[in-house]
Structure 1
Amino acid sequence: MHPVSPASPPEYEATSGSVTFVGSGPGDLGLLTLSGSRALTFADVIIVDPAIDVDHVRALVSAHSQIRVSKGDEDAGLILRSIAQGLKVVRLHSGDYFTDADADSVLAEVLTQAGLHANVVPGVNRWSAALSYGAVTASAAFAALDATLGVPDVEEWPHAQTLIIRAKGSDSARVASAATQRYTSNGTVLSLEKMGTTSQVSDLITWRDVTVSDADERFFIVGPGIDENHRSRFAWFEGKPLFDWRVIVPRTKDDLNSLIEELDHYGATSEIVATMSIEPPRTEQAMEKAVRGLVDGRYLWLVFTSPHAVTAIAERLTEYGLDSRALSGISLAAVGSGTTEALARLGLVPDLTPVVENTTGALANEFPAYDDLIDPLNRVLVPSADVAVEPLLVGLSRLGWDVEEVTAYRTVRAAPPPADVRDDIKTGMFDAVLFTSATAVRNMIGIAGKPHAATVVAAIGPATAAACEMHGLRVDVVAETPTFESVAEALARFADRRRADQVAAGLPTTKPSQRKRRKRRKVVEPAE
């Protein structure tokens, strides 16, 4: 006989609403499963752990989703009310609900309600994460002990060949004292702090050497898989070439998300500094006339050269109470993957994109010639920045098109970054700076000054490298091809060679920002 749930309270009668409890991973939303990511995409209300960065969640979800920070036991009422209103709710946890002993009790409370459409998506539990980030292979029998809920007597500890202990840093000494009774003070243990972050520190020590730490969370692992010879073969995380490197990336107009992902893959922590600001044109008349022409069928082609041009046209259509359907019947051309993605967000697919390379000149070479027997119109609209796209305009004109360019937005130099960022740039607190264009070089130096001589300078191509040298910068890395993937890999290879040279010379492996800093001389006033 199947179990029957109790009757639902009248105010929470089942509707089309639902709740999905989604687990992710310890401190890393990138550990979301496909099922968890899909649940977030369709959620109306998302409740997140206080430790989760709301901005990271917002980048993964739809614009209509409401994101709220968990209020503990109050969450159950909010979830039930939202379901009764027909809303889809996601409760996002930074771990796994069923294997985290300190996970909130809301899951059990909501699951007991009858008629609710509830689902649970497993996350990466902190115990398996500790083994993976620590590069430890578990033995056939392994166990977990959560000492953050209290340090039990050693007689109550699990008996397994591999044991993973989670503790608060302040309780490290108490855990070590108890562990000494079982493993002796000379017993070897792997200490893991800041797990899963690019500041992770793993040390193979004895229980005698364990000291109190200020870390919120600390893992101790004992077992046959923790020895250095074994772990060195599997040290995939801390062994990344750019592990814990702090990289600054000046941004102009391009979307750098894919570059940041590439740098993350190699272990870097990236910080973007905007060097260019996008502003509306000084006068609106030309854009208003162009949008009216689009709606009235004045143009056969609409050519987008940047995501900002797409945004500018979309905003004007919205002001008139229209959406992307107003562009039906108009052929669309796009330059750049970012531009294509911006169109996709509006539900549009370009009819033409350059195949050879993503440049305006390449688009002109691949654009069809005007044929007065086939084409009902010969007008092409090119919304762009206040910087002319001459290769495109000239190329289309030679093909017989009547090209109209309109200033859709202006690019101006951005305001300087905060004072602490400027100071870190000048004093060499960044390990590397990665330039993606000559404009980025000029603008960053203009608003923040030159990077310190110890900072590694990487350029996406020869033109960008030449701009660096023109401004007195030593270029350490130049990408083989002008792509984000190539420049990130080139920087990673440089870091690998640098570390190998340090090891060969018998020197400690340090980052560029880890250097001896000169102490300022004290000025001694002459005696009177």
Structure 2
Amino acid sequence: MTFVGSGPGDLGLLTLSGSRALRMADLVIIDEAADEEQVSHLAPAHAEVRFAGGDDEVTAILSAVAKGRKVVRLHGGDFFTDADAGGVLSEVLQAAGLRVNVVPGINRWSAALSFGAVAASSSFAALDATLEVPPIDSWPAAETLIVRATGEASARLAEQAAQRFGADGPCLSLTGVGSTGQVSELLTWGEVEASDVDECFYIVGPGIEESRRQRYAWFEGKPLFDWRVVAPSTKDSLDPLVEELAHYGASTEIVATMTIEPPRTEQAMERAVRGLVDGRYLWVVFTSPHAVAAIAERLDEYGLDSRALSGINLAAVGRGTVEALARMGIKADLVPVVENTTGALAHEFPAYDDLIDPLDRVLVPSADVAVEPLLVGLSKLGWEVEEVTAYRTVRAAPPPPEVREDIKAGNFDAVVFTSATAVRNMIGIAGKPHAATVVAAIGPATAAACEIHGLRVDVTADAPTFESLAESLARFADRRRQDQVDAGLPLTKPSQRKRRRRRKTVEATA
């Protein structure tokens, strides 16, 4: 049994020990506010993920441990330093004969200082006033003081604080700590008011001065901080792109423009899988994670697993494809080095040698869209290529009405296109983004598709990678911010443009 702490509201702050515990878990119990899908990605495929709460939580933990299951209780903070972490840990620790392991998490107090860019003094203390605002004579005495409260209790907190620090005494107010919606304000206690936020932090002491914090503002100073980005997806996962954009402070909403469906007929795939088992092919070329999943699904139907591919050389195109094979416990024998595309793979693929190679057949499971450059390239190298439709790509249904409205109304700050197909499909199912929305393209071909559809391209990545696309968009945001500073304008995001009021037309009457 392992109790794992993570960062406040950010699973990305999970320690290596915590991540290791999750990868070995059979049952993961998470906070009600946690992202179940995100946790599921870190846990094994067989692991059960359930939400905490209820009177039977401890009983469920003890029962699972008694059955030999590895249980992880995940908390978005630290179990011992968070006053509201619950009594589950103490109850389990009191259970006779049960050994537990506790992986410390980043506590709220450290997070508030770090995300607020405040260097703590040699003497600092924390006060949790979320349940009750204590009288001022009960407050700890320290040079740096961190107070946690609810927005509703902030006014009562300020009344008490004014007795010690004065109504004009400065404090740093922090809400949404560690999120892209974080807001920090340097206020006086007389300016603190009640609000409807769930959690507020107030920091008093040296280091909260605005001029000093501006030099240290690593979090809110990110170029894409609080930018809302929409990313149309096709058949490939955009999770790596989301991570890159989050590194620069953006929150990304993925809009699926394509769905994956099985082939219209199964006979060709069945013959291909039988050929794999019978040793018909020397190579299998996987062009996408979906091709990997399609083959794995067919093998499973035959009661087989990845061991059926032993002895076969495997080539993979794209990082997602390599990772999909890795999740099956397989390492690709060949991955393009110069450019990770199907066309580039043909240039790096070995030529067939009838003196060395026992077979000349290559299987290419792919979508119903032809990978012609690859097939032609392999044929020129002397290989007999068999392409089989492993899955079909179909344009997705339109996103929810509120998402379509946000796209058209310019409520997104940027849209990132990763292919020409993504451009066509998104416009087809959701319409064109607003003219104020920053348009970023992963390469010249994608930028050309944007221009064909009447979109102004603001950013074109230097290289056709997610890393370059996110970095190029961040550089654009930096330049945009500097232009606003130079012009003496307030710093705004693209979605905060000044909206024009519609003029009312009054018809003249005779």
- The answer to whether TM tops 0.5 is yes
Which letter maps to 1:410?
R
Structure 1 match to 2:203:
221
Which letter maps to 1:221?
I
Q: Give the whole-Å Cα distance in 2 for the aligned partners of 1:115 and 1:60.
A: 29
1:170-218 per-residue CA deviation (whole Å, 9 max, x = no partner) reads 0011000000000010100111111111111111011111111110000
Structure 1 match to 2:158:
176
Q: Give the whole-Å Cα distance in 2 for the aligned partners of 1:30 and 1:300.
A: 41
Q: Give the whole-Å Cα distance in 1 for the aligned partners of 2:332 and 2:495.
A: 45
Structure 2 match to 1:474:
456
Q: Give the whole-Å Cα distance in 2 for the aligned partners of 1:149 and 1:338.
A: 46
Structure 2 match to 1:253:
235
Query: Could you tell me how far 1:391 is from its partner in structure 2?
Result: 1.4
C-alpha contact (below 8 Å) 1:465/1:475 kept by paired residues: yes
Q: Pairwise mapping of residues 23-422 of structure 1 onto structure 2 (< 5 A)?
A: 23-422=5-404
The counterpart of 1:489, out of the listed 471, 475, 493, is: 471
1:65-106 per-residue CA deviation (whole Å, 9 max, x = no partner) reads 111111154321111111111111111111111111122111
Q: Give the whole-Å Cα distance in 1 for the aligned partners of 2:204 and 2:21.
A: 37
Q: Give the whole-Å Cα distance in 1 for the aligned partners of 2:73 and 2:272.
A: 46
- The number of equivalent residue pairs is 510
Q: Give the whole-Å Cα distance in 2 for the aligned partners of 1:331 and 1:53.
A: 38
Q: Give the whole-Å Cα distance in 2 for the aligned partners of 1:444 and 1:382.
A: 28
Q: Secondary structure at the match of 2:394?
A: strand
Q: Give the whole-Å Cα distance in 2 for the aligned partners of 1:189 and 1:203.
A: 8
Q: Secondary structure at the match of 1:40?
A: helix
Which letter maps to 2:269?
M
Query: Could you tell me how far 1:383 is from its partner in structure 2?
Result: 0.9
1:400-458 per-residue CA deviation (whole Å, 9 max, x = no partner) reads 11111111111121111111111110010000001111111111111111100000001
Q: Give the whole-Å Cα distance in 2 for the aligned partners of 1:394 and 1:350.
A: 22
Q: Give the whole-Å Cα distance in 1 for the aligned partners of 2:208 and 2:3.
A: 34
Q: Give the whole-Å Cα distance in 1 for the aligned partners of 2:54 and 2:112.
A: 26
Q: Give the whole-Å Cα distance in 1 for the aligned partners of 2:324 and 2:402.
A: 33
Which letter maps to 1:176?
A
Q: Secondary structure at the match of 1:186?
A: coil
Q: Give the whole-Å Cα distance in 2 for the aligned partners of 1:377 and 1:31.
A: 49
Q: Give the whole-Å Cα distance in 1 for the aligned partners of 2:419 and 2:451.
A: 13
Q: Give the whole-Å Cα distance in 1 for the aligned partners of 2:338 and 2:35.
A: 40
Which letter maps to 1:258?
P
Which letter maps to 1:467?
A
C-alpha contact (below 8 Å) 1:479/1:490 kept by paired residues: yes
Q: Give the whole-Å Cα distance in 1 for the aligned partners of 2:132 and 2:381.
A: 77
Q: Give the whole-Å Cα distance in 2 for the aligned partners of 1:28 and 1:376.
A: 52
Which letter maps to 1:515?
R
Q: Give the whole-Å Cα distance in 1 for the aligned partners of 2:270 and 2:85.
A: 55
Q: Give the whole-Å Cα distance in 2 for the aligned partners of 1:34 and 1:253.
A: 31
Query: Could you tell me how far 1:115 is from its partner in structure 2?
Result: 2.2
Query: Could you tell me how far 1:341 is from its partner in structure 2?
Result: 1.0
Structure 2 match to 1:440:
422
1:327-361 per-residue CA deviation (whole Å, 9 max, x = no partner) reads 22221111111111111111111222222211222
Q: Secondary structure at the match of 2:484?
A: helix
C-alpha contact (below 8 Å) 1:73/1:105 kept by paired residues: no
Which letter maps to 2:382?
G
- 295-304 vs 489-498, which moves further: 295-304
Q: Give the whole-Å Cα distance in 1 for the aligned partners of 2:157 and 2:211.
A: 26
Note if 1:511 corresponds to 2:493. Answer: yes
Q: Secondary structure at the match of 1:192?
A: strand
Q: Give the whole-Å Cα distance in 2 for the aligned partners of 1:120 and 1:384.
A: 46
Identity of aligned pairs, percent?
A: 74
1:373-415 per-residue CA deviation (whole Å, 9 max, x = no partner) reads 2222111111111111111111111121111111111112111
Structure 1 match to 2:434:
452
Q: Give the whole-Å Cα distance in 2 for the aligned partners of 1:417 and 1:268.
A: 21
Q: Give the alignment's Cα RMSD to 1 decimal.
A: 1.3
- 155-164 vs 384-393, which moves further: 384-393
Q: Give the whole-Å Cα distance in 1 for the aligned partners of 2:54 and 2:220.
A: 34
